[in-house]
Amino acid sequence: MEIPSIGELRALSERHNGPCISMFLPTHRSGMETHQDPLRLRNHIRAAENRLLLDHLRTTQVEHLLQPIQALLEDESFWLHPGDGLALFRSPDTFRTYWLPSSFKEQVVVTDHFYLKPLLPFLSKDERFSILALSQNEVRLLQATHYSVRKVDLPAVVPRGLAEALTYDEPENELQYHSSSSGVRGKGGRRATIFHGQGVGIDDSRADLLRYFQRVDRGLHELLRDEQAPLVLACVESLFPLYREVNTYPHLLDQGVPGNPDKLSAETLLRQAWAIMEPYLLLAREQAAARYREYTETGRASHNVREIIAAAFHGQVESLFIAIDQEQWGTFHPATNTLHVHRVARYHDDDLLDIAATQTLLHSGSVYAVGQAQVPGGELVAAVFRY
């Protein structure tokens, strides 16, 4: 299972050498129906091929573009670890596949950019969060959604534990250390470090932990500086106030997962962190809806897609609700702010809801991809503006 990151969203949303093919299809994890999944993909390939030929591409160009997707039909290993849905993105310079834990409506979109709207429930920062599993022996950073969790590779500047952090500390700590010559090695095969000094007591231990946590916080800054997703801390309760004392990430939640995280798998940490995150996310969504109702008469809120599209491109949208189960077809030209809305899809039309949501995310706004009944006022789209 692989949830695309916000960085991958940025890469997919950039302009690519066209044409860009986006495919979404439901899949099956097990059972007799699994054999239908490659057949369904084959039908998607035919649909894309017909659309590309209508765009007057040469047959050789079409074959080259579709070849990596075509190869998946014969790749038995590709179908061994499926999810509930498969998303594929292909352009002359890009090929990405994502198995996701949620089914999709079958769609094939061929245009001059990738169609990302079906991914929005997984991409919105308001559906994503991170877990920092922190102990004196280990540091783990996990990226998570309700459906999935994956470990993040930490940069070398993040210490792997208290001992490593103090090994490279400044001399004025009044702590001396040396590597054990007895061959004793710590976790990961590192040579154990023995600390000794003059009367190391509670105050010294607290100071050591604060220095350790400062190094962790500084090291994570490079990874998290562009993020706005919540961060859940998992550690023994006595360490919560110490880490918060040095933390500089503004989206660290007050509540954390108590206990020694070293003994917990990523999946267990996800379950415990989600119990904290779910009410937090629902509250954030309710507050965004309340702001929409409050600002409706002031000009800082709108359900007019014409206003919202232009505002999203200029980074003006603070929060956006879109109907994930509906489309609004039309065209928009950012250079001239020219927008045409069509009742039914026309050749080379875009889903304007997709454009509004993608631009809002890229400008660090909040996107709530929900059923139309959950959009304030029952509209297709509703937005609160920053100004």
Q: How far is it, in rounded angstroms, from Cα 330 to Cα 353?
A: 10
Look at residue 174 in the predicted model and tell me its pLDDT.
38
Nearest by Cα to 112 from 57, 154, 75:
57
Q: How far is it, in rounded angstroms, from Cα 133 to Cα 353?
A: 37
Burial class (CB in 10 A: 0-12, 13-18, 19+), 280: middle
Nearest by Cα to 160 from 141, 183, 137, 178:
137
* DSSP symbols for 89-114: EEETTEEEEEEESS----EEEEESS-
Look at residue 169 in the predicted model and tell me its pLDDT.
57
Look at residue 166 in the predicted model and tell me its pLDDT.
85
Tokens (6 digits) for 326: 């509906």
Look at residue 31 in the predicted model and tell me its pLDDT.
64
Tokens (6 digits) for 159: 């210490």
Q: Report whether 386 contacts 366 (CB < 8 A).
A: no
Cα end-to-end distance, the chain, whole Å: 39
Mean pLDDT by 10 residues, the chain (387 residues): 71 83 89 80 96 92 96 91 87 92 86 88 71 96 85 90 79 40 39 39 78 94 83 96 96 96 95 94 92 94 95 95 93 89 87 92 88 94 96
| pLDDT 10s digits, 50-69 | 999 998 899 999 999 999 99
Q: How far is it, in rounded angstroms, from Cα 381 to Cα 326?
A: 10
Q: How far is it, in rounded angstroms, from Cα 145 to Cα 108?
A: 26
Domains recognised in the chain with CATH numbers:
6-123 (3.30.960.10), 129-282 (3.30.420), 296-385 (3.30.1330)
Nearest by Cα to 84 from 140, 165, 28:
28
